[in-house]
Amino acid sequence: MTAHTIKVAGVAVDTRHWIGGERVASTETFTDASPIDSSVLGEISRGTATEAAAAVAAARDAFPVWAATSRAERACILNAVADGVEKRIEELAIVETMDNGALLRSHRRGVMPRVAHNFRFFADWLLKLDHEDFETRGHTNHVSWDPAGPCVLITPWNAPLMLATWKVAPALAAGNTVVLKPAEWSPLTASLLADIAAEAGLPPGVLNVVQGYGSEVGDTLTSHPDVRRISFTGSVPTAKRIAQSAAANLTPLSLELGGKSPLLVFADADLDLAADLAVEQYDNAGQVCLAATRFLVEESVAEEFTQRVVDKATRLKQGDPRDETTDVGPNIHPRQLEKIDGFVQRALAAGARAVVGGHRKDGQYYAPTLLTDVA
């Protein structure tokens, strides 16, 4: 154990950045607290423009060698990362649950195995990327897949490691190098991923992790002239700032933003199945970007469907996400809780009716809520 290592549910986690194959500490830190009980998990290195620039430089310097690494060798390393994830599924699951409050049983059974699968999937596809030359009007056409360069990947807090590896795995498979910036509300498993990747033989500088606030490291990362690709998952306001920052260098970027998806229920639907799907929207305390947060129901079955949802939703058990019997855990941060309560209270003030929930509970827990009579 070192001064920069914390224990989270018995798992050692380094609180420093990972840059160029080394741990790098910042002079300032930020506090990472568990949404389960607001307990402090640790003080995390708070990145600045200095660490962000160093990470980009490390990714730039590592790029030529990694890009020239054979596809077979890259795939081998990605599979070794997957092996490392699978060996540490229990550790990754409990750390992520402590850090973001999602259900431990979901992390064990679905989320962390999916993390390993992400690496294997892109390792497999990397070996299938092939295309024979073909002729067109006397000209030979050749298809190739060429690495772009250093990629900045900015990830959200609702499924931190799984969503990070959705970006990291394909970027590495393609021969790019990476600077990963995890959400400040849930940074811990990104640090563990850096350890796993290093143990799997990923060369120094190919994967870098910079922690901190987007306002303090984000501009440097997204406006840097050496960055060749940017991928962001998060809010619309932040995406606007990133797009403006990237525009100076015409850096290509991908934005995955929040939605307001509807679940459509028609009169000929299997209403019990539809109600089951509706109640699934409370997964991860509703903090899922593709959650169907609106139910649009044909009028002739609206009353019956609503009652079925109410019956199922009121049976959900809310509490400590480490408990195997818990169905709904806490919201990740007090600010998120305030945002949700603001939505609900404005709806109620406008004439909506809460047939389930509609109120806060102790700590960072919000009762699963269903509003009817909405505009």
Q: Which residues are catalytic?
A: 256, 289
CA angle 270, 275, 278 (to 5 degrees): 125
DSSP state, residue 27: S
Q: Taking a C-beta distance cutoff of 8 angstroms, is the pair 104, 321 a contact?
A: yes
Q: Report residue 273 as tokens.
A: 């199945």
Q: Taking a C-beta distance cutoff of 8 angstroms, is the pair 131, 160 a contact?
A: no
Q: End-to-end alpha-carbon separation of the chain, Å?
A: 56
DSSP state, residue 38: -
What ranges make up the beta strands (E) of the chain?
Answer: 5-8, 11-14, 17-19, 22-24, 29-33, 40-45, 134-136, 139-141, 150-154, 177-181, 207-209, 229-234, 253-257, 261-265, 292-297, 353-356, 370-372
5-8/11-14 β-pairing: antiparallel
The residue count for the chain: 375
Residue 286: strand, helix, or coil: helix
Scan for tokens 């539809």, then name that residue: 274
Q: Taking a C-beta distance cutoff of 8 angstroms, is the pair 48, 217 a contact?
A: yes
Q: Taking a C-beta distance cutoff of 8 angstroms, is the pair 211, 187 a contact?
A: yes
229-234/150-154 β-pairing: parallel
Which spans in 8-146 are helix H? 49-68, 71-87, 89-100, 104-106, 112-128
| Residue 306, CA atoms < 13 Å, CB-side half-sphere | 18
Q: Taking a C-beta distance cutoff of 8 angstroms, is the pair 272, 255 a contact?
A: no
